[in-house]
Amino acid sequence: MNTGPEETAGPGGPHPAGCGPHPDGLRRFATIWSRAVYPTTATCMTRAEFEEHLVPLAELLSSTLHARPFDPGPARAVGTALVAAHCTAPESLPQILGVVDAYLLLYCADPALLPPEEGRARCARLQHAIAAGFARALQERTRAEQESLSRAALAAQSEIERALHESETRFRAVFEGATIGIGIAALDGTVLETNRALNDMFGDTERHHLSSRKVTSWVHPDDGPAVWRMYDELVRGEREHFRTEKPYHRPDGTVLWTHLTVSLLRDPDGSPRYMLALMEDITERRLLHLRLRYEATHDALTDLPNRTLFFERLEQTLARGAQTRFGLCYLDLDGFKTVNDSLGHAVGDQLLVAVAERLQTCVNGPGQLVARIGGDEFVALVADPACSGDVTDLAERALEALSTPVLVDGRELPVRASIGIVDGPAGERTAAEVLRSADITMYRAKAQGGNRYELADPDSDARVISRHSLTNRLPAALEGQEFFIEYQPLVRMSDGSVEGAEALVRWEHPRHGVLGPDRFIPLAEHTGLIVPLGRWVLEEAVRQACEWQVRGIGGTRPLRVNVNLSPRQLSHPDLVAETVAVLENAGLPPHSLCLEVTESAMIRADDAELKPLRQLAELGVGIALDDFGTGYSNLASLRRLPASTLKLDRSFTRGLQHHPADPVDLKVVEGIVSLAHVLDLSVTVEGVETAAQAEHLRALGCDSAQGWFYARPGPPERMAVELPLAAAH
């Protein structure tokens, strides 16, 4: 009790006995009571409000105290009311009772009505009643609180369950409905659950196959090298996830390719619990990708690897460094252009396919690759040959494989090829340098007659001018007037007189000296520069013929000039107009010009393409079928050509070099000559080198001849000098 002596003094102090409880006494009691009890309450009332609240309780105690007969029962209500006013702290009840015990009789009893002895007895009983009411109320309140707590707990519990259920449903819906495959596995690799998409991917609609299998049983030979290492790290909790492309065997034996993401699921306390795998089926995408990659790296005609793939491989091989070796065979068909030109592209294509198949049979070892890198150009790469012999063996096998003619459309086509071989330690040269060396070497093989292989040699590489640099210089050469023409006489067989000359172009190359047309005409043809170059040759040769005529060289029969025309010029739309303009400008009669077109180019041409030649022929310009016998022309088809002359290729005259001549060659030439005459074509033979040849050919009825026996090609001035020489033969 913390009420001091001053509490007992003042205006509300004890009053004289005999006049009932003084109202001020009740108020005073309430004040003291509230001071003692208020600090122990948890009420939200103010101190004054609390005191006000206690006044009626004091009145109730006072009336109960005085009631006769005495019944302490109503005092219970005071205990109940105090509990209701939140005076429920452990020290509340002692405070409450202490004030009642000390001050109730003093301030709330009328000594006149209640003798002190009885008053004390009643006060004690009132305290019991207050305590009983208090205890009961407290008990009920606690029970009520517990009930409401447990009701709240119950409500909360079902709320959690509902939320859990909802999230579980949501998870199920996502899991089952996902288009991406989802699988959950324990850390020991056992598959616990898989969704429908995943089962579908595996073709496992019954869901037997996947669950309870071990993740580790899905090892595939094409697994990336890091997959299982990352898996182990994940299981050990050293990484949170990994991503990879991974193949799986399906139960039906096919392969499923997936984009796989595996994540580690941890407990709330952070220790690894499950693995979550998300899989996307990329089989189709991968197939498409592979197909596109295949198409980008293979030749559509032969199905061989193409230039792109070959370069990739060559670069990889060369990148391995000088401790490994490499070997390369660069193969180019001999005379393929003739096949293509005279028999058509369809036949040419079939020939290439057959060649590809045969070459494929020659490479058998690992690290060997055959590719087609251009029209009739093939390469064979040997990644790590034991010795140079391995590479030359391969070249020999290739030539051997091509040695039997290829049968196309019932026709036997002989195939020959020239091969350039480069081999050596990797890591010294770039792919482009290696290929250039192989190309140069291949040309060396061709220059030596073809159908053979040659080995690269750095010294000759350095001397050889690459086709590439020649091609690049061609335009400047034309501009800079580096071309000039030599003339080779054409001799009449009947009397040995000169009827004209063939204009043969040469290139005076500033670094490499004089280059023959075989070196640059194909390049000019390829780049299209042949058109202006050919025009220049025509103008120059026509001008030269005019000059001879004006100077009276050739006597009564004016000299003719033969000018070669390449296929590209043949199809040029201005051919007729330009040729006519050149003749008119120079003032040369059309019959003093003969245009030479190779047999293969002419045979290939259709009627529309032959039209310009026909027009020129009608104007009087001679048309010669050059290099006759090297193509595959059907003799009967000669009738439809506007040719006036047939130039028999040098290869026919070879067998006539000696006495006695090869009887078969004699027969062949005789047959061609008589057939040509039937078709009203004159016959010129090329490459006459010996008197014997000249004699045979004259006897066989050839009309004219050309060759070293009479004169080599030379400057125009030589015509005047050599004419009497030629006539002397």
In the complex, the residues that contact ligand C2E under the rule CB under 6 A are 488, 504-505, 516-518, 521, 534, 537, 564-566, 596, 626-627, 650, 686-689, 706-708, 713
Angle at 79 between CA 76 and CA 83, to 5 degrees: 140
Query: What are the backbone dihedrals phi and psi of residue 156, each rounded to the nearest 5 degrees, phi first?
Result: -60, -45
| Shortest distance, position 467 Cβ to ligand C2E, whole Å | 16
| Shortest distance, position 502 Cβ to Mg ion, whole Å | 6
CB 425 within 8 A of CB 320: no
* Pair of tokens at residue 486: 């030599």
Cβ proximity to Mg ion: between 281 and 599 the closer is 599
| Shortest distance, position 626 Cβ to Mg ion, whole Å | 4
Angle at 116 between CA 22 and CA 82, to 5 degrees: 60
Cβ proximity to ligand C2E: between 230 and 521 the closer is 521
- Residue from 582, 568, 594, 548 nearest 721 by CA: 548
Q: Does 626 bind Mg ion (CB under 5 A)?
A: yes
| Shortest distance, position 575 Cβ to ligand C2E, whole Å | 13
Which of ligand C2E, Mg ion, none does residue 537 bind (CB under 5 to 8 Å by kind)? ligand C2E
| Shortest distance, position 686 Cβ to Mg ion, whole Å | 5
Beta bridge partners of 705: 491, 685
Measure the CA–CA gap between 244 and 225, rounded to whole angstroms: 11
- Residue from 548, 563, 546, 588 nearest 723 by CA: 548
Side-chain-side CA neighbours of 36 within 13 Å: the count stands at: 25
CB 685 within 8 A of CB 474: no
Which of ligand C2E, Mg ion, none does residue 305 bind (CB under 5 to 8 Å by kind)? none
Cβ proximity to Mg ion: between 37 and 595 the closer is 595
Among 43, 564, 569, 600, binds Mg ion (CB under 5 A): 564
| Shortest distance, position 627 Cβ to ligand C2E, whole Å | 5
What are the strands, taking DSSP E only, across 317-356?
325-333
Measure the CA–CA gap between 87 and 41, rounded to whole angstroms: 4
Which of Mg ion, ligand C2E, none does residue 655 bind (CB under 5 to 8 Å by kind)? none
Q: Does 439 bind Mg ion (CB under 5 A)?
A: no
Cβ proximity to Mg ion: between 199 and 645 the closer is 645
| Shortest distance, position 614 Cβ to ligand C2E, whole Å | 20
Residues in the interface with Mg ion (CB under 5 A) total 5
Amino acid at 352: L
Beta bridge partners of 484: 506
- Residue from 531, 548, 625 nearest 588 by CA: 548
Cβ proximity to ligand C2E: between 534 and 716 the closer is 534
Cβ proximity to ligand C2E: between 29 and 520 the closer is 520
**Residue recorded with tokens 């005191």:** 51
Pairing of strands 377-382, 325-333: antiparallel
The site string for Mg ion over 519-558 (x = CB under 5 A, - otherwise) reads: ----------------------------------------
Q: Which part of the chain contacts Mg ion (CB under 5 A), choosing from 157-165, 299-307, 427-435, 592-600? A: 592-600
Measure the CA–CA gap between 131 and 139, rounded to whole angstroms: 12
Which of Mg ion, ligand C2E, none does residue 504 bind (CB under 5 to 8 Å by kind)? ligand C2E
| Shortest distance, position 591 Cβ to ligand C2E, whole Å | 20
| Shortest distance, position 618 Cβ to ligand C2E, whole Å | 23
Which of ligand C2E, Mg ion, none does residue 547 bind (CB under 5 to 8 Å by kind)? none
Cβ atoms within 10 A of the Cβ of 33, count? 27
Among 499, 627, 703, 722, binds Mg ion (CB under 5 A): 627
Cβ proximity to Mg ion: between 64 and 566 the closer is 566
Q: Does 596 bind Mg ion (CB under 5 A)?
A: yes
Amino acid at 725: L
Q: Which residues of 405-428 are buried (b: 16+ CB within 10 A; e: fewer)?
A: ebebeeeebebbbbbbbbbbebee
Measure the CA–CA gap between 652 and 672, rounded to whole angstroms: 10
Cβ proximity to ligand C2E: between 110 and 686 the closer is 686
Q: Which part of the chain contacts Mg ion (CB under 5 A), choosing from 209-217, 536-544, 563-571, 695-703? A: 563-571
Q: Is 257 helix (H, G, I), strand (E, B) or coil?
A: strand
| Shortest distance, position 566 Cβ to Mg ion, whole Å | 10
Cβ proximity to Mg ion: between 311 and 487 the closer is 487
Measure the CA–CA gap between 426 and 436, rounded to whole angstroms: 16
Kindly identify the residues of this chain, within the stretch 671-690, that bind Mg ion according to CB under 5 A: 686
| Shortest distance, position 462 Cβ to ligand C2E, whole Å | 25
Q: Which residues of 651-677 are buried (b: 16+ CB within 10 A; e: fewer)?
A: ebbebbbeeebeeebbebbeebbeebe
Q: Does 486 bind Mg ion (CB under 5 A)?
A: no
Where do contacts with Mg ion occur on this chain (CB under 5 A)? 564, 596, 626-627, 686
